[in-house]
Chains A and B, each alone.
Chain A
Amino acid sequence: MAKAAIADRSVKEFEEKQEWWWAAEKKRSSRLDYLRKAIWKKGAIGGLYAPGVKVDLERPVLQTQKARALEFSPDPYVIKFAKMIAHILDNKTIFITDNAQLVGYTGSLPHTIAWDPSLGSFLNEEVYNDPTAIPDPAEKSQQIIRDVNNYWIGKSDLDKMIPVFDMEDLGKMLSGSIGWGVPIARGGYSSKDYEYIMTGKRAYQAIIDELNQKIDEADEQTHAPGATTETSKIYDKINNWEAMKITLEAGIRVAKRYARLARIIAEHFEEDSNRREELLRVAESCEQVPAYPPRTLQESFQYDIFIQMMSRTEAVEGAWPARPDYYHGPYYDKDVNIKKNLTKEEAIDLVGEFLIRAAEVCQFKPKFAREGLQGIDGTWVWTIGGVDKEGRDACNDLTVALMQAARLVRVANPTFGFRWHPRVKDEVMREIFECLRQGLGYPNIRHDPVLIANSMHWYGHPIEEARLWCNQACLSPCPPTKHGFQPMRMANATANCAKIIEYVMTGGYDPVVNMQVGAETGDVTSFTDFEQFFEAWTTQMKTIFSILVRAVNRARTLAPNLTPRPFLSAISERSIESGMDTLTPSLERGNAWVTAFTWVENIDSLAAVKKLVFEDKKYTMAELKNALEKNWEGHEQMRLDFVKNAPKWGNDDDYVDDIMVRCLKTAAKFSKELKCPSGNNWPILPENVSGNIHYANIVGALPNGRRLGDALYDGGISPGPGLDKKGPTAVLKSCGKINHITDGRAFLLNQRLSPTQLAGEKGYQLWRAYMRTWADLELDHIQFNVVDDSTLRAAQKDPEKYQEVIVRVAGYSAHFVDISRKTQDNIIQRTVQGL
């Protein structure tokens, strides 16, 4: 919209028209407005990065330079790798944006996407073949990329890993039909030991001091008289500790570089005295953190940003496990309420900027991930609310400030997951509601008592640790504690579950990728009853899960030696204590899960087959098989029968709901047979990110009436779009038949509500009543889209005008105009539930 048009209209006018984005623009401070508009949008659209956004060639060159220099050094790999990290941090270009009070970015310049060339040659090839993101002049850039790529062939993490995988499993995984992602320890979702590093008790310098002591003691031990089998292990520990130290020292140095830059700007360039003061504050804060614990809210945020920047220099992070209100809340309280050296407005500016600093982060990701995560770089679902170690309400003023700031800056990433529990105050619930009503699509709401019990049930996390959970990715809780945190969740333990039912029909042969991927469960037309059919389903389920889990287990077992994480280890109490890399499975309790994409198609398909083929005998199995092979072409009447005349999940119909529960319990039982390298279970977690679109052309026709090409259901345990016809309570009741503690890890539920209905106090009360039913039924998750059809169709027609409309896709939010037409239509066709 033209600037003048915004200026002419009042906040109230925009709010009445529910044009929340313009209202936000008018309401936020000029600093936040500047910083919000300064973000280069990095999320890929249709798999491509936006114009002007370029791959950063500085880091790959620096890393390759250092790797070459170290090639013949006697250092063990962990130390070489730590030195590469340090070299990057010491030499990268850094920048400070006008008006910014927080600094630190993964790339070298604001419009760049960080590229880690040491992850896998396949990724490096993608960089080379991505003409839109290669910086100008292209020819020179391509020459640099070629040189970098040539060096890392055979040396990158995945290149080193591939020869040690089971080749048959690998082939099936790489076919792209059943899994997602690659099993490497520097690409996925890293939880962190926040209880060690974020509680103000210590920061880098204190850890370095402890490491020095450890190294000295160990060194003494190795030189003491006598030698045992333990002695050689001590050398390994010393190497690990040395590597950790190298990364921490580099972290302190890079912060000092920012401090220096801030002082140079203040002293030599800046003319505005207020800004000069701000820059000196930035300098002071970068001299304090990460070396020493933060003293103020600004330093606390700055500390967090530095930790994230380093973690994202060491690895490609697809998620952002965080609990900002819990760890930064005490500083907010100190600055705003006790010392009063920050006004609420100044604090909101900092909080909003903290969200913006996270929103701008981007690392070059493979195409499948870019297509899967339309419009964003990763699923950064920050955890807020919840309880403390003792079970007391942990919501604080920062919980509220985060939600208020989110409504002002309206970024699609990060989003929030709110841990609801019965003692959450009404004023906090109103803030959540306000975010939802203003169409952000977040926070999603999590049932804290259920999820704490769930963590204890599946992994045996002690209650005091389970209560501290934060999302490791979109939905899965993980305690940020010494033995509780999982240092890496590899994304490839993500099963495209619609293939389970598809393979029952095809005997495990995948017609889309033309290979035998599933189990050979025999000719489906020879099955004489539903039990036989279900048995084949169980076998296919077990087969798919096993292929994915085997690869992750193998990679996790080898990771501490082949692909260590010295920085992540340096901020992990267990590694400081033991001298072992934090990826070492024996140091961890275990918190693995299989993400179950495209799950509900199984349920609706099984119900349709049971009813129409085995019970009503309206169609033979041969007729069904034939129709599916033809992608239902020429069988439209029959297809409609399978959609409309078979029970569908989400309508409180026991016929199909019982099948859902049976499938989940079957999977849950098998989850306990599968074991992660830490010896713990592999429960399933139904959710979709946007796999429902990614897999549209990979999953063939299914007995629920879906065709190859159609988007799959939007995921988790959400009913198919438009198929939940009995109203919102029926949906909740169906979902309530699942035991959200013992039947799986977590269950995503998307619901769409009408903004008109949610208006005013009446709207809030309607929603509260609905949420009480949700809580009573003990569902672990729910999230909402509160945008009407007309706004979304208008946004399709006139995307320029609706740039800022946000929608909840599946496990994340995105700007509506950044997602594909198919995804847009899929969201619009979701049922709008009347409360």
Chain B
Amino acid sequence: MKCTECGHNAPLESFRYLYNARIDASISIRQCTNCEEWLAVDELKGVVTQKIAQGEAPWGKSAGIEGLASD
């Protein structure tokens, strides 16, 4: 997997696993061991989807009616 921030290329497992706030989502937050950025990772595809900044929500809205409400 390639880090979108520094280009560090290594097997997915070697990116430090931090957490997944939605157990039913295939998204985790991992940390690049090279640049130390927090990254959202699609665990099934094995790709970085975005860098995690403050207020960023890789899981989208919460489940339930918040998730249904239009933005």
Contacts and interface: CB of A to CB of B under 8 A. Distances in A.
B64 A710 contact: no
A524 B52 CA distance: 39
A829 B59 contact: yes
A754 B26 CA distance: 26
A640 B62 contact: no
A390 interface: no
User: Is chain B's binding surface mostly helix, strand, loop or mixed?
Assistant: loop
A696 B20 CA distance: 11
Nearest to B14: A633
6 contacts: A721-B62, A793-B55, A796-B55, A797-B54, A829-B59, A829-B63
Q: How many B residues touch the partner, as a band?
A: 20 to 34
B6 interface: no
Contact of B65 (A711, A822, A834): A834
A149 interface: no
A504 B26 CA distance: 26
B22 interface: yes
B16 to A, nearest CB: 9
A828 B17 contact: no
Given A634-B13, A721-B22, A796-B54, A832 B63 contact: yes
B37 interface: no
Contacts of A825: 19, 21, 57, 59
Contacts of A722: 22-25, 62-63
B13 A707 contact: no
A756 interface: yes
Interface in A731-768: 752, 754, 756-757
A710 B17 CA distance: 9
Given A633-B13, A637-B44, A829 B21 contact: yes
Nearest to A823: B21
Interface in B15-36: 17-26, 28
Given A723-B24, A793-B57, A794-B55, A696 B19 contact: yes
Interface in B35-71: 43-44, 54-55, 57, 59, 61-69
Interface in A235-286: none
Contacts of A696: 19
A709 interface: yes
A584 to B, nearest CB: 46
A832 B23 contact: no
Interface string A636-674: 110010011000000000000000000000000000000
User: Which 3 pairs, one residue from A and one from B, show the smallest C-beta to C-beta distance?
Assistant: A797-B55, A834-B65, A832-B66
A723 B19 contact: no
Nearest to B17: A709
A319 to B, nearest CB: 29
Interface of B: 12-13, 17-26, 28, 43-44, 54-55, 57, 59, 61-69
Nearest to B55: A797
Contacts of B12: 633
A265 B22 CA distance: 57
B64 A720 contact: no
A722 B23 CA distance: 8
Contacts of A483: none
B35 to A, nearest CB: 18
A830 interface: yes
B26 A705 contact: no
Contacts of B62: 721-722, 752, 789, 828-832
Contacts of B65: 754, 757, 832-834
Interface in A772-794: 788-789, 793-794
A710 B24 CA distance: 12
Contact of A789 (B17, B44, B66): B66
Contacts of A633: 12-13, 17
A472 interface: no
Contact of A631 (B17, B18, B67): B17
Contacts of B21: 710-711, 721, 822, 825-826, 828-829
Interface of A: 631, 633-634, 636-637, 640, 643-644, 696, 704-711, 720-725, 752, 754, 756-757, 788-789, 793-799, 822, 825-826, 828-834
Nearest to B68: A834
B64 A643 contact: no
Given A636-B43, A722-B62, A722-B63, A828 B19 contact: no
Contact of B57 (A707, A724, A828): A828
A704 to B, nearest CB: 7
A603 to B, nearest CB: 14
B55 A832 contact: no
B61 to A, nearest CB: 5
Contact of A706 (B23, B26, B57): B23
A634 B54 CA distance: 29
A711 B19 CA distance: 7
Given A793-B55, A795-B55, 13 more contacts: A634-B13, A640-B44, A707-B28, A709-B19, A721-B21, A723-B23, A723-B24, A754-B69, A789-B66, A796-B54, A829-B62, A832-B65, A832-B67
A462 to B, nearest CB: 43
A638 to B, nearest CB: 11
Given A631-B17, A634-B13, A636-B43, A752 B23 contact: no
A640 B69 CA distance: 26
Contacts of B22: 721-722, 829
A723 B25 CA distance: 10
Nearest to A788: B66
A644 B24 contact: yes
B31 to A, nearest CB: 11
Contacts of A789: 57, 61-62, 66
Contacts of B63: 721-722, 724-725, 829, 831-832
A752 B19 contact: no
Contacts of A721: 21-23, 62-63
Given A634-B13, A709-B17, A831 B64 contact: yes
Contacts of B13: 633-634
B4 to A, nearest CB: 20
Contacts of B25: 722
A725 B13 CA distance: 31
A709 B18 contact: yes
A692 B28 CA distance: 18
Nearest to B25: A722
A752 B25 CA distance: 20
A822 B20 CA distance: 9
A100 B68 CA distance: 48
Which of B20, B57, B62 gathers the greatest number of chain A CB atoms within 10 Å? B62
A647 B18 CA distance: 26
B20 A710 contact: yes
Contacts of B17: 631, 633, 707-709
A634 to B, nearest CB: 7
B34 to A, nearest CB: 19
Contact of A754 (B23, B55, B66): B66
A502 to B, nearest CB: 16
Contact of B23 (A637, A710, A822): A710
A707 B20 contact: yes
Contacts of B59: 825, 829
A602 to B, nearest CB: 15
B14 to A, nearest CB: 10
B57 A752 contact: no
A724 to B, nearest CB: 8
A506 B60 CA distance: 35
A822 B19 contact: yes
A483 to B, nearest CB: 46
Nearest to A798: B55
Nearest to A631: B17
A828 B54 CA distance: 14
Contacts of A799: 54
A799 B54 CA distance: 9
A828 B66 CA distance: 10
Nearest to A640: B26
A705 B55 contact: no
A434 B31 CA distance: 42
